[in-house]
Structure 1
Amino acid sequence: MARIVHVAAAQMGPIAKSETRKDTVARLVALMREAKSRGADLVVFTELALTTFFPRWMIEDEAELDAYYEREMPGPETQPLFDTAKALGIGFYLGYAELVVEAGRKRRFNTAILVDRSGAILGKYRKVHLPGHAEPQPGRTHQHLEKRYFEPGDLGFPVWRGFGGVMGMCICNDRRWPETYRVMGLQGVEMVMLGYNTPYDHTGHRDIDSLTQFHNHLSMQAGAYQNSTWVIGTAKCGVEEGSNMVGQSAIIAPSGEIVAQSVSLEDEIINFRCDLDLGKRYRETIFNFAKHREPEAYRLIVERKGAIPPPEA
């Protein structure tokens, strides 16, 4: 019997700097309702879904910076998401900026949570692979200061049982790194949810930046195929505060095939009935880790590191 998770990716168009949490949450609730009307069990929102992508600016005022972060989840302004999820019987993935105080010190993370159909938080993930810079870069119209405003995630890449399968999460730049998927793949992940806010000019090299859309899908499709998992990639897109953001939200099968893709640069729902057992076929054949993967070879490579002299400077 097939194990079906009907999933929706809730792409978001631009969020203006002036847009309030209340307004943004209302957009998310509307997308959640549309996803449910299509039969979805789970809706995947994007990275930093509650605010504009604030790391594009140098922000020196502490109070101004703090206003972009959530100190609790749910809080008064995000509670409607949880109430609606419970009322509709739909789960969701939500990306946001998290601020916690530990030992008298503020800690900031780029975070995502997975919420079940009852409105209860099932799991939390904090972004590990932070792109960009800690200091402003000269000559850039928009900065990319994630390394200034966030710490690398300290929760690893866990998986959770929910929605009839094994679920995992990552965020934006994590999708480019094979270990993101492999660590979850080794735990039997069957669906990876990820939100992204990706600009077209993130490297500063036009030859690379011109391939942003290709690389976006390439990394997700490779991760899905090589780890026999569904991948749900949800974009923030359009022209946000003068920054061009990539769309192309996609639902990707364990075969690596894109089975649904957005067609706009605005708020848009795409959905698909995902059979979790499709990944099982790949795990039992091509990517049978127990039968075909050779971890001993990796260990020998690590032990021998330095045996080959580095190239001359």
Structure 2
Amino acid sequence: MREIVIGGAQMGPIQRTDTRAQVVDRMLALLDQARGAGCDLVVFPELALTTFFPRWYMEDPAEVEVWFEAEMPNAATQPLFDRAREYGIAISFGYAERTPDGHHFNTSILTDKAGEIVGKYRKVHLPGHSEYDSDRAFQHLEKRYFEPGDLGFPVWRNLDAWMGMCICNDRRWPEVYRVMGLQGAELIMLGYNTPSVNSQASAEGLEKRLYHSDLSMTAGAYQNASWVVGVAKAGDEDGHPLMAGSIIVDPNGFVVARAETEGDELIVHPCDMDLCAFGKSTIFDFARHRRTEHYGRITAQTGVEYPDT
């Protein structure tokens, strides 16, 4: 048995006026809970250090830059790395990254139990738009502030398992899981900041959004025989509701842990990486059963092209 006790550290809303120090204090409190629960790894959400700033239309570059981290760890996040190292807990969390040469990405990192960064992922599938849209109830400007990720979908050996990462909208694209699955991924971690419902929307609308989120992750887990940990930022953030629904999914596609609130909450499950073996070797034996000669269209085109009639 290769058991990793995993904590999904859902976070409630982060307001625009909240400081990095205030947010890190909340992350430290969740990490303290994780230690008490015997966690080996804790996964935090997308853009865990700030409000979801792409909802704000900003033209002044200086106004935008304050949301980005020029290095990691930095002075604000060092206490998180130090505490994780002290506890011997690996961590993963998302943040807005500015590279030394001035590029901007929606990024997640993964550490080992010694607090050393062993993996970095940059979000590939950026939703939304790049200019102000007066027809929208709220803006979603990820395409304005971020570039599409340039690192692909790598996996890393960590805690005696193969681990990969993706972010938010990535979870809705089956290719994401498959590329990591083809590299033997046994654990896929993802954080998200997904809008919930507005004041006119119904509870049924939220239920459907949660179902689609679950569906994306459970299908990805089952079809690639991999654990999936999806962790939300949730609650009313600057007047904009974010969906909760953090889950841990086993390699058979079953949800084994689920958040019950829209606030800071730790969900925990002991995840045996050896449970991936049956699906990888028997149900989905890629080497024996994949027929790549028929899959060229997947990478040859983007939009729909109807056959000639």
**Normalised by the shorter chain, which TM-score bucket?**
over 0.9
Q: CA deviation at 1:139?
A: 3.2
Residue number among 161, 166, 175 corresponding to 2:162 in the alignment = 166
Distance 2:112 2:261 in 1: 28
Distance 1:154 1:301, change over 3 A: closer
Asked if the contact 1:55–1:145 (Cα under 8 Å) also holds between the matched residues in 2, the reply is yes
After superposition, give the CA deviation of every residue in 1:45-72 in whole Å (9 maximum; x if it has no partner): 0000000000001012222211100000
Asked if the contact 1:225–1:255 (Cα under 8 Å) also holds between the matched residues in 2, the reply is yes
Distance 1:291 1:245 in 2: 42
Instruction: Say yes or no: does 1:266 pair with 2:263.
Output: yes
Counterpart residue type for residue 274 of structure 1: C
Over the aligned positions, Cα root-mean-square deviation in angstroms equals: 2.2
Instruction: Say yes or no: does 1:238 pair with 2:235.
Output: yes
Distance 1:116 1:307 in 2: 47
Distance 1:227 1:253, change over 3 A: same
**Aligned residue in 1 for 2:129:** 133
Gapped regions of structure 2 (runs ≥ 5): none
Distance 1:96 1:302, change over 3 A: closer
Instruction: Say yes or no: does 1:214 pair with 2:211.
Output: yes
Distance 1:278 1:70, change over 3 A: same
Distance 1:122 1:303 in 2: 32
**Aligned residue in 2 for 1:154:** 150
Distance 1:69 1:5, change over 3 A: same
Distance 1:94 1:245 in 2: 18
Q: CA deviation at 1:142?
A: 2.0
What SS class does the counterpart of residue 168 from structure 1 fall into?
Answer: strand
Counterpart residue type for residue 125 of structure 2: H
The percentage of aligned residue pairs carrying the same residue is 53
**Aligned residue in 2 for 1:247:** 244
What SS class does the counterpart of residue 15 from structure 2 fall into?
Answer: coil
Distance 1:209 1:131 in 2: 19
Distance 1:201 1:182 in 2: 30
Q: CA deviation at 1:300?
A: 8.1
Distance 1:263 1:294 in 2: 41
Q: CA deviation at 1:28?
A: 0.5
**Aligned residue in 1 for 2:8:** 9
Instruction: Say yes or no: does 1:70 pair with 2:69.
Output: yes
Q: CA deviation at 1:155?
A: 0.1
**Aligned residue in 1 for 2:275:** 278
Instruction: Say yes or no: does 1:117 pair with 2:113.
Output: yes
Deviates more, 1:280-289 or 1:300-309: 300-309
Distance 2:299 2:112 in 1: 40
Distance 1:27 1:301 in 2: 42
Distance 1:148 1:32 in 2: 33
Asked if the contact 1:5–1:164 (Cα under 8 Å) also holds between the matched residues in 2, the reply is no
Counterpart residue type for residue 181 of structure 2: G
Counterpart residue type for residue 92 of structure 1: I
Counterpart residue type for residue 214 of structure 1: Y
Instruction: Say yes or no: does 1:225 pair with 2:260.
Output: no
Distance 2:298 2:262 in 1: 45
Question: TM-score scaled to structure 1, two decimals?
Answer: 0.93
Distance 2:141 2:306 in 1: 37
Q: CA deviation at 1:129?
A: 0.3
**Aligned residue in 1 for 2:291:** 294
Q: CA deviation at 1:98?
A: 0.3
Distance 2:288 2:197 in 1: 42
Distance 1:257 1:301, change over 3 A: closer
Asked if the contact 1:47–1:95 (Cα under 8 Å) also holds between the matched residues in 2, the reply is yes
Distance 1:29 1:95 in 2: 15
Q: CA deviation at 1:248?
A: 0.6
Q: How many residues align?
A: 305
